[in-house]
Amino acid sequence: MKPSIPKGTRDFSPVEVAKRQYIIQKMRTHFEKFGFQPIETPSFENSETLMGKYGEEGDRLIFKILNSGNFFFNKNKIELPESINSLQTNSAETISVNELVELNKFTNNISEKALRYDLTVPFARYVVQHQNDIEFPFKRYQIQPVWRADRPQKGRFREFYQCDADVVGSTSLWQEVELVQLYDSVFTDLGLNGVTIKINNRKILSGIAEVIGASDKLIDFTVALDKLDKIGEDGVKKEMIEKGISETAIEKVQPLFNFTGSISEKITKLSVLLADSIEGMKGVEELQFICDNVTDLGLTSAILDLDVTLARGLNYYTGAIFEVAPPKAVSMGSIGGGGRYDDLTGIFGLKNMSGVGISFGLDRIYLVIEELGLFPETVTTTSKAIFLNFGQEETKYSMKAITELRKVGVKVELYPDNVKIAKQFQYAEKRGIHLAIIVGDDEMKNNQFSVKNLVSGEQQKVDFENLKKMLQ
């Protein structure tokens, strides 16, 4: 029986951990530079904290934890409704509401905790629970794993990290300006030049809905409009009509079909288009403030773009909406996203707390950096050199040097066993260690070390001071 891990989960090898830590450390540095403070929350929360916060589909994807043995038996009897025994279904799709109710009763009885599904709900819970210890506005970042019982597929895992930076307790649009700068700052430092930070505003979308006279058709409208590149203006209009959007409505927003130009040109077009919508114009004003200030302050390598089709988490966001596309050389979905949500903590009883935040997609960022070959060679945990093992006396001599080298921070190791030297060389090469240190009678007599470069094959004898210089 070969050991394995649950589907949708991953082991990370030393090289992978080093690269992930490289990204995470960069994020930490920039988050803190922008005044965000780290918090961490427990891996599991009380079920009632999580359930009902992610919609029906989300609830089903939450991993529930069985009450532990002890706890289980502390109740006099395990309550199992007879109806559970008679449950008979073939798939989630065919379960009746009654059955679902019975199942929920049952699982709630044997499970009172669940694994974190995202970092936003635990953050809201944290803010409400610790509100008396927090100074608002509270800028927090959080880098922790989350778990989702999604069907695993390429690039989608059941355990993955989320990296979130949010501000709660201020409606100032300067936050949005800073969050765009934060994206720019992180991606520039990671060498990912030319990411596109797309921005939109929920109020723009509501304004469009108002103008076309069909609030309920908004999602159909944006989904269709998003296909403009692929199916052309006629194709988009055909789809809109099929979805029940009137020709008059489509006529009203004709400029959206040729929505190109600079950000300020786009904003001008939107001002004309949404002139009759108070909410729409509020959205235009917000977008203008953010874009103007971002442009004035300048981005280092990222490109800001206004994308009126951007509608991620439409039910959730109330103001700005962000999404980051990787550099054009890479074909991959968004590597980050976020937005403003006006009532973050309302679900836990603390009203009027506006929040705005962004998220970084660690797994995808990793893949993009890998694909572009942008991980620095220095991102490794491998030792600088390995001292080969020629026997007890030689090793004592080596260990004195190793001890001193480590004191000055050099990553160095000893081959622990006195085995055939060919095997030791092979080990060093397979481990990717570039320098092998050889200590024999000669070296011991002369207080020296032979250093063999395993890449070039060159070998030289040096004293300890020079060895230290070579390795530092």
Residues placed in the known binding site: 118-120, 148, 162, 166, 312, 316-317
**Residue window 12-51: x/- pattern of binding to a copy of itself, with contact defined by CB under 8 A:** xxx--xx--x------xx--xxxx-xxxxxxxxxx--x--
Residue 288 lies near a copy of itself (rule: CB under 8 A): no
Whether the Cβ atoms of residue 202 and residue 314 lie closer than 8 Å to each other: yes
Helices (DSSP H) in 51-119: which residue ranges? 55-60, 69-74, 82-85, 97-110
Residue 163 engages a copy of itself in binding (rule: CB under 8 A): no
Residue type, 247: E
> Which amino acid appears at position 276 of this protein?
D
Binding residue for a copy of itself, selected from 153, 234, 272, 298, defined by CB under 8 A = 298
CA-nearest of 331, 332, 334, 302 to 321 is 334
The binder of a copy of itself chosen from 26, 50, 168, 175 (CB under 8 A)? 175
In the bound state with a copy of itself, the residue whose beta carbon lies nearer, of 61 and 303, is: 61
Nearer to a copy of itself by C-beta: 32 or 233? 32
The least distance separating a copy of itself from the CB of residue 310, rounded to whole angstroms, comes to 24
* 293: Cβ contacts below 8 Å, ≥ 6 apart: 174, 177
Question: Measured from the CB of residue 343, what is the shortest distance to a copy of itself in angstroms?
Answer: 15
Sheet strands side by side (includes 448-453): 412-414, 385-387, 435-438, 448-453, 459-463
The answer to whether residue 156 forms part of the interface with a copy of itself (CB under 8 A) is no
Element (H, E) at 356: strand 355-360
Tell me if 301 contacts a copy of itself by CB under 8 A.
Answer: no
| 377 exposure class (CB count in 10 Å sphere: 0-12, 13-18, 19+) | exposed
Task: Map the footprint of a copy of itself across residues 373-402, applying CB under 8 A.
Answer: 381-383, 386, 395-396, 399-400
φ, ψ dihedrals at 117, nearest 5°: -100, -30
Applying CB under 8 A, which of residues 3, 420, 456, 457 lies at the interface with a copy of itself?
3
At 109, the amino acid letter reads N
Q: What is the C-alpha separation between 438 and 401, in angstroms, rounded?
A: 12
Options 51, 54, 95, 461; binder of a copy of itself; rule CB under 8 A: 95
Instruction: Read off the tokens for 321.
Output: 């909406």
Indicate whether 149 belongs to the interface with a copy of itself (CB under 8 A).
yes
Nearer to a copy of itself, 230 or 420 (CB): 420
Measured from the CB atom, the residue of 34 and 257 that comes closer to a copy of itself is: 34
Q: Select from 50, 167, 204, 290 the one that contacts a copy of itself (CB under 8 A).
A: 167
Rule CB under 8 A: is residue 193 a binding residue for a copy of itself? no
Stretch that binds a copy of itself, among 9-17, 192-200, 215-223, 307-315 (CB under 8 A): 9-17
Binding a copy of itself by CB under 8 A: which of 51, 83, 84, 303?
84
CB-wise, 168 or 256, nearer to a copy of itself? 168
* Segment 216 to 235, residues that bind a copy of itself, using CB under 8 A: none
The span of 10-18, 257-265, 303-311, 357-365 binding a copy of itself (CB under 8 A) equals: 10-18
Q: What is the footprint of a copy of itself within residues 444-463 (CB under 8 A)?
A: none
Angle at 57 between CA 52 and CA 60, to 5 degrees: 75
Dihedral sign from CA coordinates of 292, 298, 300, 301:
positive
Q: Taking the CB of residue 2, how many other CB atoms lie within 10 A of it?
A: 3
Site for a copy of itself, residues 323 to 352, rule: CB under 8 A: 348-349
Residue 109 found at the interface with a copy of itself (CB under 8 A)? no
Q: Are 462 and 471 in contact (CB under 8 A)?
A: no
Smallest separation (angstroms) from a copy of itself to the CB of 421: 16
Measured between alpha carbons, how far is 30 from 131 in angstroms, rounded to an integer?
26
Minimum distance from residue 78 beta carbon to a copy of itself (Å) = 6
Residue ranges at the known binding site for L-histidine: 118-120, 148, 162, 166, 312, 316-317
- Tell whether residue 421 is a contact of a copy of itself (CB under 8 A): no
Sole binder of a copy of itself in the list 258, 431, 442, 453 (CB under 8 A): 431
Give residues 245-264 in contact with a copy of itself (rule: CB under 8 A): none
Segment contacting a copy of itself by CB under 8 A, of 79-87, 275-283, 313-321, 457-465: 79-87
Give 89 or 258: the residue with its C-beta nearer to a copy of itself: 89
Identify which of 54, 30, 208, 215 has the alpha carbon closest to the alpha carbon of residue 120.
54
Q: Label the pairing between strands 435-438 and 385-387.
A: parallel
Minimum CB distance to a copy of itself, residue 182 (Å): 9
Among 145, 152, 194, 346, binds a copy of itself (CB under 8 A): 145
Q: How far is the CB of 279 from a copy of itself (least distance, A)?
A: 22
Strand order in the sheet with 196-201: 37-38, 138-147, 159-168, 355-360, 336-341, 320-325, 196-201, 303-306
The reply to whether omega before 137 is within 30° of 0 (cis) is yes
Sequence-distant (≥ 6) Cβ neighbours of residue 370 within 8 angstroms: 19
- What are the two backbone dihedrals, phi and then psi, of residue 260, each rounded to the nearest 5 degrees? -115, -175
